[in-house]
Protein backbone atom coordinates (compact mmCIF):
# COMPACT_ATOMS: atom_id res chain seq x y z
CA UNK A 1 0.00 0.00 0.00
CA UNK A 2 1.34 3.44 -0.94
CA UNK A 3 2.24 5.65 1.99
CA UNK A 4 2.84 9.41 2.38
CA UNK A 5 4.92 11.44 4.80
CA UNK A 6 1.72 12.18 6.72
CA UNK A 7 1.63 8.51 7.69
CA UNK A 8 4.88 9.05 9.60
CA UNK A 9 4.34 11.93 12.05
CA UNK A 10 7.67 11.11 13.70
CA UNK A 11 9.59 12.20 10.54
CA UNK A 12 12.15 14.99 11.11
CA UNK A 13 11.03 18.62 11.30
CA UNK A 14 10.47 20.42 8.03
CA UNK A 15 12.75 23.43 8.29
CA UNK A 16 16.54 23.81 8.26
CA UNK A 17 16.40 26.70 10.75
CA UNK A 18 17.19 24.20 13.52
CA UNK A 19 17.78 26.81 16.20
CA UNK A 20 14.73 28.91 15.26
CA UNK A 21 16.73 32.05 14.53
CA UNK A 22 13.74 33.39 12.62
CA UNK A 23 11.96 33.80 15.95
CA UNK A 24 14.55 36.43 16.92
CA UNK A 25 13.05 38.71 14.24
CA UNK A 26 10.20 41.10 15.03
CA UNK A 27 6.70 40.09 13.96
CA UNK A 28 6.85 42.59 11.11
CA UNK A 29 10.16 41.12 9.92
CA UNK A 30 8.84 37.56 10.11
CA UNK A 31 5.84 38.56 7.99
CA UNK A 32 8.10 40.29 5.48
CA UNK A 33 10.40 37.24 5.28
CA UNK A 34 7.37 35.03 4.66
CA UNK A 35 6.24 37.39 1.89
CA UNK A 36 9.68 37.21 0.22
CA UNK A 37 9.85 33.42 0.68
CA UNK A 38 6.49 33.09 -1.03
CA UNK A 39 7.65 35.30 -3.93
CA UNK A 40 10.84 33.26 -4.35
CA UNK A 41 8.87 30.01 -4.39
CA UNK A 42 6.52 31.35 -7.08
CA UNK A 43 8.83 33.43 -9.26
CA UNK A 44 12.41 32.25 -8.79
CA UNK A 45 12.55 28.55 -7.93
CA UNK A 46 10.57 27.39 -10.99
CA UNK A 47 12.95 29.15 -13.42
CA UNK A 48 16.25 28.80 -11.56
CA UNK A 49 17.51 25.55 -13.10
CA UNK A 50 16.64 26.57 -16.66
CA UNK A 51 18.42 29.93 -16.30
CA UNK A 52 21.43 28.14 -14.81
CA UNK A 53 21.58 25.64 -17.68
CA UNK A 54 21.31 28.38 -20.29
CA UNK A 55 23.70 30.68 -18.43
CA UNK A 56 21.28 33.57 -18.90
CA UNK A 57 19.84 36.12 -16.49
CA UNK A 58 16.01 36.38 -16.45
CA UNK A 59 15.60 40.10 -17.18
CA UNK A 60 11.80 39.83 -16.90
CA UNK A 61 12.31 39.07 -13.21
CA UNK A 62 13.65 42.58 -12.57
CA UNK A 63 10.27 44.42 -12.56
CA UNK A 64 8.88 41.71 -10.27
CA UNK A 65 11.81 42.13 -7.89
CA UNK A 66 11.24 45.89 -8.08
CA UNK A 67 7.63 45.34 -6.97
CA UNK A 68 8.95 43.53 -3.90
CA UNK A 69 10.97 46.62 -2.90
CA UNK A 70 13.99 44.73 -1.54
CA UNK A 71 16.86 47.20 -1.96
CA UNK A 72 18.55 48.67 1.14
CA UNK A 73 16.54 46.95 3.89
CA UNK A 74 18.66 48.30 6.77
CA UNK A 75 19.72 51.84 5.82
CA UNK A 76 16.54 52.81 3.96
CA UNK A 77 13.80 50.63 5.40
CA UNK A 78 14.98 50.36 9.00
CA UNK A 79 15.03 46.56 9.26
CA UNK A 80 17.59 44.85 11.53
CA UNK A 81 20.91 43.48 10.29
CA UNK A 82 19.71 39.99 11.26
CA UNK A 83 16.69 40.44 9.00
CA UNK A 84 18.89 41.62 6.10
CA UNK A 85 21.11 38.56 6.57
CA UNK A 86 18.19 36.14 6.72
CA UNK A 87 16.67 37.81 3.66
CA UNK A 88 19.89 37.19 1.76
CA UNK A 89 20.05 33.59 3.00
CA UNK A 90 16.44 33.06 1.92
CA UNK A 91 17.16 34.44 -1.57
CA UNK A 92 20.20 32.15 -1.82
CA UNK A 93 18.13 29.21 -0.63
CA UNK A 94 15.93 29.75 -3.70
CA UNK A 95 18.80 30.50 -6.11
CA UNK A 96 22.37 31.59 -5.36
CA UNK A 97 22.61 33.45 -8.68
CA UNK A 98 19.56 35.66 -8.09
CA UNK A 99 20.85 36.34 -4.58
CA UNK A 100 24.17 37.40 -6.12
CA UNK A 101 22.38 39.74 -8.53
CA UNK A 102 20.75 41.37 -5.50
CA UNK A 103 23.98 41.32 -3.50
CA UNK A 104 25.86 43.14 -6.25
CA UNK A 105 23.14 45.69 -7.01
CA UNK A 106 22.13 46.29 -3.42
CA UNK A 107 25.19 45.64 -1.27
CA UNK A 108 28.17 46.54 -3.43
CA UNK A 109 26.75 49.07 -5.89
CA UNK A 110 24.04 50.78 -3.81
CA UNK A 111 26.29 50.44 -0.76
CA UNK A 112 29.06 52.35 -2.57
CA UNK A 113 26.67 55.23 -3.17
CA UNK A 114 25.02 55.19 0.25
CA UNK A 115 28.40 55.15 2.00
CA UNK A 116 30.60 57.20 -0.34
CA UNK A 117 28.46 59.67 -2.34
CA UNK A 118 27.59 63.24 -1.36
CA UNK A 119 24.04 64.02 -0.26
CA UNK A 120 23.40 65.72 -3.60
CA UNK A 121 24.59 62.64 -5.52
CA UNK A 122 22.49 60.34 -3.32
CA UNK A 123 19.37 62.45 -3.80
CA UNK A 124 19.89 62.38 -7.55
CA UNK A 125 20.75 58.69 -8.04
CA UNK A 126 19.28 56.59 -5.25
CA UNK A 127 15.53 56.78 -6.03
CA UNK A 128 15.96 55.03 -9.40
CA UNK A 129 18.46 52.59 -7.89
CA UNK A 130 16.13 51.63 -5.03
CA UNK A 131 13.32 51.13 -7.56
CA UNK A 132 15.55 48.95 -9.79
CA UNK A 133 14.90 51.38 -12.65
CA UNK A 134 18.67 51.68 -12.90
CA UNK A 135 20.73 48.55 -12.32
CA UNK A 136 24.25 48.76 -11.03
CA UNK A 137 27.52 46.87 -10.89
CA UNK A 138 30.66 47.15 -8.78
CA UNK A 139 33.97 47.29 -10.61
CA UNK A 140 36.92 46.62 -8.34
CA UNK A 141 38.65 43.36 -9.43
CA UNK A 142 41.01 43.52 -12.40
CA UNK A 143 42.65 40.92 -14.66
CA UNK A 144 45.93 41.46 -12.80
CA UNK A 145 44.50 42.52 -9.43
CA UNK A 146 42.37 40.10 -7.38
CA UNK A 147 43.07 39.38 -3.71
CA UNK A 148 45.74 42.08 -3.82
CA UNK A 149 43.57 44.71 -5.52
CA UNK A 150 44.08 47.21 -2.67
CA UNK A 151 47.68 47.74 -3.69
CA UNK A 152 47.28 46.37 -7.18
CA UNK A 153 44.65 48.59 -8.83
CA UNK A 154 46.03 49.38 -12.28
CA UNK A 155 43.01 51.16 -13.77
CA UNK A 156 43.85 54.86 -13.82
CA UNK A 157 41.93 58.11 -13.39
CA UNK A 158 43.41 61.35 -14.65
CA UNK A 159 41.84 64.72 -13.86
CA UNK A 160 41.33 66.81 -17.00
CA UNK A 161 39.62 70.13 -16.24
CA UNK A 162 36.11 69.34 -15.00
CA UNK A 163 36.37 65.70 -16.17
CA UNK A 164 38.19 62.51 -15.26
CA UNK A 165 39.67 60.21 -17.91
CA UNK A 166 39.51 56.51 -17.04
CA UNK A 167 41.70 53.83 -18.59
CA UNK A 168 42.09 50.16 -17.69
CA UNK A 169 40.27 46.85 -17.32
CA UNK A 170 38.02 45.13 -14.78
CA UNK A 171 37.26 41.40 -14.54
CA UNK A 172 34.47 39.28 -13.04
CA UNK A 173 32.11 42.22 -12.71
CA UNK A 174 28.65 40.87 -11.86
CA UNK A 175 25.58 42.33 -13.66
CA UNK A 176 27.90 44.34 -15.92
CA UNK A 177 26.62 42.96 -19.24
CA UNK A 178 23.29 44.75 -18.72
CA UNK A 179 23.82 47.29 -15.95
CA UNK A 180 23.07 50.99 -16.49
CA UNK A 181 25.87 52.07 -14.20
CA UNK A 182 29.08 50.63 -12.83
CA UNK A 183 30.93 52.05 -9.85
CA UNK A 184 34.53 51.84 -11.07
CA UNK A 185 37.42 52.12 -8.65
CA UNK A 186 40.53 53.59 -10.26
CA UNK A 187 43.90 54.92 -9.12
CA UNK A 188 44.28 58.69 -9.40
CA UNK A 189 47.61 59.24 -11.18
CA UNK A 190 48.06 62.54 -9.29
CA UNK A 191 48.12 61.16 -5.72
CA UNK A 192 48.18 57.35 -6.29
CA UNK A 193 44.94 56.92 -4.27
CA UNK A 194 42.05 54.66 -5.34
CA UNK A 195 38.91 56.73 -6.07
CA UNK A 196 35.36 55.77 -7.03
CA UNK A 197 33.46 56.83 -10.16
CA UNK A 198 29.88 56.35 -11.23
CA UNK A 199 30.30 55.28 -14.85
CA UNK A 200 27.35 55.37 -17.26
CA UNK A 201 27.71 52.21 -19.36
CA UNK A 202 26.68 54.06 -22.54
CA UNK A 203 29.76 56.33 -22.40
CA UNK A 204 32.18 56.21 -25.35
CA UNK A 205 35.20 54.00 -24.67
CA UNK A 206 33.33 51.70 -22.25
CA UNK A 207 32.74 48.06 -23.19
CA UNK A 208 31.70 44.93 -21.30
CA UNK A 209 31.98 41.36 -22.60
CA UNK A 210 30.30 38.41 -20.91
CA UNK A 211 32.61 35.81 -19.34
CA UNK A 212 31.48 32.51 -20.86
CA UNK A 213 31.73 28.87 -19.77
CA UNK A 214 31.51 29.37 -16.03
CA UNK A 215 30.89 26.28 -13.93
CA UNK A 216 29.36 28.14 -10.99
CA UNK A 217 26.80 30.94 -10.47
CA UNK A 218 25.99 30.49 -14.14
CA UNK A 219 22.95 32.78 -14.11
CA UNK A 220 25.07 35.70 -12.86
CA UNK A 221 26.36 37.69 -15.81
CA UNK A 222 30.02 38.42 -15.10
CA UNK A 223 31.86 40.68 -17.50
CA UNK A 224 35.30 41.72 -18.58
CA UNK A 225 35.17 45.52 -18.77
CA UNK A 226 37.51 47.68 -20.84
CA UNK A 227 37.78 51.42 -20.22
CA UNK A 228 39.50 53.33 -22.97
CA UNK A 229 39.73 57.08 -22.45
CA UNK A 230 36.28 57.13 -20.85
CA UNK A 231 35.37 60.74 -19.97
CA UNK A 232 33.53 61.00 -16.65
CA UNK A 233 32.36 64.44 -15.47
CA UNK A 234 33.60 65.35 -11.99
CA UNK A 235 30.01 65.30 -10.70
CA UNK A 236 30.15 61.50 -11.19
CA UNK A 237 33.17 61.02 -8.95
CA UNK A 238 31.87 59.66 -5.64
CA UNK A 239 32.54 62.59 -3.32
CA UNK A 240 33.79 60.52 -0.39
CA UNK A 241 35.61 57.71 -2.24
CA UNK A 242 39.15 59.00 -1.97
CA UNK A 243 41.30 56.05 -0.89
CA UNK A 244 41.17 52.27 -0.53
CA UNK A 245 40.18 52.81 3.09
CA UNK A 246 36.91 54.18 1.72
CA UNK A 247 36.45 51.15 -0.55
CA UNK A 248 36.93 48.99 2.54
CA UNK A 249 33.93 50.66 4.19
CA UNK A 250 31.78 49.11 1.44
CA UNK A 251 33.55 45.73 1.55
CA UNK A 252 33.27 45.57 5.34
CA UNK A 253 29.47 45.74 5.37
CA UNK A 254 28.85 43.69 2.24
CA UNK A 255 31.14 40.70 2.77
CA UNK A 256 28.83 39.63 5.61
CA UNK A 257 26.26 38.77 2.98
CA UNK A 258 28.65 36.19 1.53
CA UNK A 259 28.53 34.35 4.86
CA UNK A 260 24.72 34.54 4.76
CA UNK A 261 24.87 33.03 1.28
CA UNK A 262 26.67 30.03 2.79
CA UNK A 263 23.82 29.75 5.32
CA UNK A 264 21.25 29.89 2.50
CA UNK A 265 23.05 27.18 0.55
CA UNK A 266 23.07 24.91 3.61
CA UNK A 267 19.35 25.51 4.14
CA UNK A 268 18.74 24.60 0.50
CA UNK A 269 20.88 21.45 0.79
CA UNK A 270 18.81 20.39 3.77
CA UNK A 271 15.56 21.15 1.90
CA UNK A 272 16.63 18.97 -1.03
CA UNK A 273 17.92 16.10 1.12
CA UNK A 274 14.84 16.12 3.33
CA UNK A 275 12.43 16.23 0.40
CA UNK A 276 14.18 13.29 -1.21
CA UNK A 277 14.21 11.28 1.99
CA UNK A 278 10.50 11.90 2.53
CA UNK A 279 9.32 11.45 -1.08
CA UNK A 280 11.50 8.53 -2.11
CA UNK A 281 9.84 5.21 -1.33
CA UNK A 282 11.74 1.98 -0.85
CA UNK A 283 10.32 -1.23 0.61
CA UNK A 284 6.93 0.56 0.59
CA UNK A 285 8.03 3.29 2.98
CA UNK A 286 9.72 6.72 2.67
CA UNK A 287 13.51 6.58 3.10
CA UNK A 288 13.06 8.95 6.06
CA UNK A 289 11.18 6.30 8.02
CA UNK A 290 14.33 4.18 8.33
CA UNK A 291 16.42 4.61 11.46
CA UNK A 292 19.78 5.12 9.74
CA UNK A 293 18.35 7.98 7.65
CA UNK A 294 16.75 9.55 10.72
CA UNK A 295 20.10 9.36 12.46
CA UNK A 296 21.44 11.88 9.91
CA UNK A 297 18.71 14.41 10.64
CA UNK A 298 20.79 16.38 13.15
CA UNK A 299 20.09 17.42 16.74
CA UNK A 300 16.60 17.19 18.17
CA UNK A 301 15.56 20.84 18.71
CA UNK A 302 13.10 19.81 21.40
C1 LIG B 1 31.19 34.73 -9.63
C2 LIG B 1 32.09 35.90 -9.28
C3 LIG B 1 31.54 37.15 -9.15
C4 LIG B 1 32.36 38.26 -8.88
N5 LIG B 1 31.81 39.51 -8.84
C6 LIG B 1 32.61 40.57 -8.70
C7 LIG B 1 32.09 41.89 -8.78
O8 LIG B 1 30.88 42.09 -8.99
N9 LIG B 1 32.95 42.93 -8.67
C10 LIG B 1 34.28 42.76 -8.44
O11 LIG B 1 34.98 43.77 -8.33
N12 LIG B 1 34.82 41.53 -8.35
C13 LIG B 1 34.02 40.44 -8.48
N14 LIG B 1 34.55 39.16 -8.41
C15 LIG B 1 35.98 39.01 -8.21
C16 LIG B 1 36.39 38.47 -6.85
O17 LIG B 1 36.25 39.49 -5.88
C18 LIG B 1 37.80 37.94 -7.03
O19 LIG B 1 37.68 36.72 -7.76
C20 LIG B 1 38.51 37.73 -5.74
O21 LIG B 1 38.83 38.96 -5.15
C22 LIG B 1 39.77 36.86 -5.90
O23 LIG B 1 40.59 37.41 -6.88
P24 LIG B 1 41.17 36.47 -8.05
O25 LIG B 1 40.01 35.76 -8.69
O26 LIG B 1 42.01 37.33 -8.94
O27 LIG B 1 42.03 35.36 -7.32
P28 LIG B 1 43.56 35.48 -6.87
O29 LIG B 1 43.75 36.75 -6.11
O30 LIG B 1 44.43 35.22 -8.05
O31 LIG B 1 43.65 34.27 -5.86
C32 LIG B 1 43.87 32.91 -6.35
C33 LIG B 1 44.01 31.99 -5.16
O34 LIG B 1 45.15 32.37 -4.36
C35 LIG B 1 44.76 32.55 -3.02
N36 LIG B 1 45.51 33.65 -2.39
C37 LIG B 1 45.59 34.93 -2.85
N38 LIG B 1 46.36 35.65 -2.01
C39 LIG B 1 46.74 34.83 -1.02
C40 LIG B 1 47.53 35.00 0.15
N41 LIG B 1 48.08 36.18 0.48
N42 LIG B 1 47.73 33.93 0.96
C43 LIG B 1 47.18 32.72 0.65
N44 LIG B 1 46.42 32.50 -0.45
C45 LIG B 1 46.20 33.53 -1.26
C46 LIG B 1 43.28 32.87 -3.06
O47 LIG B 1 42.61 32.50 -1.86
C48 LIG B 1 42.80 32.01 -4.22
O49 LIG B 1 42.53 30.70 -3.81
C50 LIG B 1 33.74 38.06 -8.67
C51 LIG B 1 34.28 36.77 -8.77
C52 LIG B 1 33.47 35.70 -9.09
C53 LIG B 1 34.12 34.33 -9.25
Residue 10: pLDDT band (50, 70, 90) is low
141: CA distance to ligand 1 center in Å? 8
136: CA distance to ligand 1 center in Å? 20
Residue ranges of alpha helices (H) inside the chain are 27-39, 45-54, 61-68, 81-94, 96-102, 111-116, 119-130, 149-152, 244-279, 291-294
pLDDT of 8 higher than 60: no
- The pLDDT of residue 272 is 92
All domains in the chain, ordered by first residue: 5-117+250-294 (1.10.540.10), 143-242 (2.40.110.10)
145: CA distance to ligand 1 center in Å? 9
Residue 112 CB-density burial (10 A; 0-12 exposed, 13-18 middle, 19+ buried): buried
Average pLDDT over residues 80-102: 97
Tens digits of residue pLDDT in 254-302:
989 999 999 999 999 999 998 899 899 999 999 989 988 888 766 555 5
Task: Kindly provide the b/e burial profile for residues 201-215, where b requires at least 16 CB atoms within 10 angstroms of the residue's own CB.
Answer: beeeebebeebeeee
Share of the chain above pLDDT 70, in %: 93
Rounded Cα distance, 149 and 147, in Å: 6
pLDDT of 74 higher than 50: yes
Rounded Cα distance, 90 and 260, in Å: 9
Residue 12: pLDDT band (50, 70, 90) is very low
- The pLDDT of residue 1 is 43
- Considering the entire predicted model, what is its pTM? 0.93
Q: What is the mean pLDDT of the chain?
A: 93
Cα–Cα–Cα angle for 233, 207, 153, nearest 5°? 70
Helix axes 244-279, 81-94, angle to 10 degrees: 50
Q: Whose CA is nearest to atom 20 of ligand 1?
A: 146
Tens digits of residue pLDDT in 218-238:
999 999 999 999 999 999 999
Average pLDDT over residues 181-197: 98
195: CA distance to ligand 1 center in Å? 20
Least trusted range by pLDDT, from 32-46, 126-140, 186-200, 285-299: 285-299
CA distances from 267 to 65, 285, 288, 289 (A): 22, 25, 18, 21
Average pLDDT over residues 109-132: 98
Nearest atom, ligand 1, residue 141 CA = 11
Average pLDDT over residues 192-218: 98
- The pLDDT of residue 296 is 74
Residues within 6 Å of ligand 1 by CB: 104, 138-141, 146-147, 172-174, 217, 220, 222
- The pLDDT of residue 2 is 47
Q: Whose CA is nearest to atom 2 of ligand 1?
A: 172
Residue of 143, 149, 172, 177 best suited for mutating to test ligand 1, as the one with most atoms within 8 Å of CB: 172
pLDDT of 76 higher than 60: yes
Average pLDDT over residues 205-219: 97
Average pLDDT over residues 81-100: 97
Average pLDDT over residues 113-131: 98
Distance linking the first and last C-alpha atoms of the chain: 32
- The pLDDT of residue 293 is 87
CA torsion angle for 279, 280, 281, 285 (degrees, to 10)? -60
**What are the φ/ψ torsions at residue 284 (nearest 5 degrees)?**
80, 10
Amino acid sequence: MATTAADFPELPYADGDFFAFEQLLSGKEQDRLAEVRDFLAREVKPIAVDCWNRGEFPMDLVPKLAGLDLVSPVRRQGYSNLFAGMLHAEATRADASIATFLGVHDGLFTGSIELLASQEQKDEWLPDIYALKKIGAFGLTEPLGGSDVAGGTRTTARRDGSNWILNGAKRWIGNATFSDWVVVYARDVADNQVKGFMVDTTLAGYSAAKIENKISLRTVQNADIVLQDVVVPDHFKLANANSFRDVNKVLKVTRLSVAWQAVGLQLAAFDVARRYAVDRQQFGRPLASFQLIQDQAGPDPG
